[in-house]
Structure 1
Amino acid sequence: MAASRPVVFIHGLWLHATSWEPWVEKFRARGYEPVAPGWPNEPGTVEAARENPDAVADIGIDEAAAHFADVANGLGQDTILVGHSFGGLIAEKLLGEGVGAGAVAIDPAQIKGVLPLPLAQLRSGFPALGNPANLHKAVALTSAQFRYGFGNAVSQEESDALFERWTIPSPARPLFQAAAANFVMHSPAAVDTKRDPRGPLLLISGTADHTVPDVVTRSTLKQYRDSMAVTELKQFEGRGHSLTIDSGWTEVADAVLDWLAAQGL
């Protein structure tokens, strides 16, 4: 591993950037230089983000991707991208644009070309997608909605604690963009899966995930079948969408660190 290689952590919808703090500490202890910036206009704390949901309203995939590209490019070509959920989609998108030396996409949101749309995924996205008027708004989850979409594989008590600690209102627009991706010619959810050369990519899925079911991540892997670059999938049995923040997060983080080391990153 190159000394002090930068890492950019990219969170998805409904979690605050500070939810990456344990990962930042762990990666720094391994010699990396990690950062976990928020999405454009995201307030600096969970409390501030809850008090000002309109700050992030109407932020879309392209705006977020450009924001994180600026961060990664400012840190240098050796930067590693690690994203969760829509952050995973953004990590894939940026890697396909030549940003970063490698990427890890954990439970990545559905990219253009992925066809499976399981009922669990539809239900998880319903708090935003259920009302077309939400397109330009920021939407918050209830604890019950978080339990279904994120915390279904942990106890009720842990799910409620994670909800209270990390959740924030998030823009609904990326969900609408991903949902319509296969019907839009120039969708912001499109990823250049054929780019060659590019850095290695690791896809991670939790087999109990409701928000991004395992079948969706496996279908995402198939989108890279024409790529000559390293593209791998690691599945975590019985894990849900909360796998980056729940009590089992270290297992996932260790797997990511091991994979990066194996790739020389």
Structure 2
Amino acid sequence: MEGATYSQRTVEEVFKDFKGRRAGMIKALTSDVESFYQQCDPDKENLCLYGLPNETWEVNLPAEEVPPELPEPALGINFARDGMQEKDWLSLVAVHSDAWLLAVAFYFGARFAFDKNDRKKLFHMINELPTIFEVVTGTAKKQPKEKSAATTPNSSSKSKSSSKTQQPKPSDSQLKASKMQMPKEDEESGEEEEDEQGLTLCGACGENYANDEFWICCDICERWFHGKCVKITPARAEHIKQYKCPACSNKRARV
């Protein structure tokens, strides 16, 4: 998968490599799930899911050289595709993907002679991100503070500030408000809301919520997504009565 030689890298560079590969694999298992599902044909040979440093992914055969230049992902994920429920299969691939990412990161750590402090720093940086499994299954957003709906992005209009306390499934009149991004600062939100904003994670990339980004909520699985991750603009969201994320749309299409 990679070249034969590597120049010395810092902890930050290895973490950047980790984040790029992780983002690619998350795309395969969420926004690109239909393409990923089709490429994992059980009639083909043993296939692996690779995350690439440039935030893309590919399904390919394992490396031919022994031992391989990098640790290899789980082999034969395509064989289990039709023998399991899709949700369970994707969760299984996600677990193996998490294990592979850690293996690659600490392979680099050993190769570049990271000491105890460097390894600890690398693990801490990795551990601050939700796992791929958490992103795919939707458990990443289930953090301790769940006493209000203030953790989710809301309308940019102050006149719709009441949507901050709406139930997970909004009414039709609230739907558009729930699809709009949260303002940078609401006069009634208070410090508590600011503390909880970071708990909201994108269902596609797994990154935290930021005040200046447009988000949209899936009306089926109730997960939030960056508009850019699911290719939805604020203008387009205004005309959507019921939004279905790529994963939910693909599941219904195959039923």
User: Normalised by the size of structure 1, how large is the TM-score?
Assistant: 0.23
User: Does 1 or 2 have the higher relative contact order (CA < 8 Å, sep 6+)?
Assistant: 1
Larger proportion of helix: 2
- Which has the larger Rg? 2
Larger proportion of strand: 1
